[in-house]
Amino acid sequence: MTGHEKAATTLNHGELPYPRGTLVLDSISERTGLLMGVVEERLKSNGKLVKSQAFMAPEGGGIEWDVPLDRITAVR
């Protein structure tokens, strides 16, 4: 592998830190939304976690967005 190639990874559903539908806060943008799911990216070679993204949706519906999982905390 050269310095420009990315290691092979897989995407999987990750464990939710709070129940689905919990109102959470993104600590950087200060946006709140309902936790919909988590996607983990792991290295194929050894399963090491590369990153985890939380998917959030606005209360009342709308377009989902994602943020790094470590940036969210439960609001209620």
CATH number reported for the structural domain that contains residue 66 in this entry? 2.30.30
Distance in angstroms (rounded) separating the CA atoms of residues 43 and 18: 25
How confident is the model at residue 35, as a pLDDT? 98
CA distances from 17 to 8, 31, 38, 45, 54 (A): 26, 18, 9, 26, 10
Please check whether residue 1 lies inside any domain of the structure. Answer: no
Q: What is the pTM of this model?
A: 0.85
Residue 42: which of 16, 17, 8 has the closest Cα? Answer: 8
Number of domains in the chain: 1
Residue of higher predicted confidence among 76 and 31: 31
Longest dimension (CA), the chain: 47
Q: Is residue 65 part of a domain?
A: yes
pLDDT (mean) for 44-57: 96
User: Are the C-beta atoms of 56 and 20 separated by less than 8 Å?
Assistant: no
Average pLDDT over residues 51-61: 96
Q: Give the structural domain span for 48.
A: 9-74
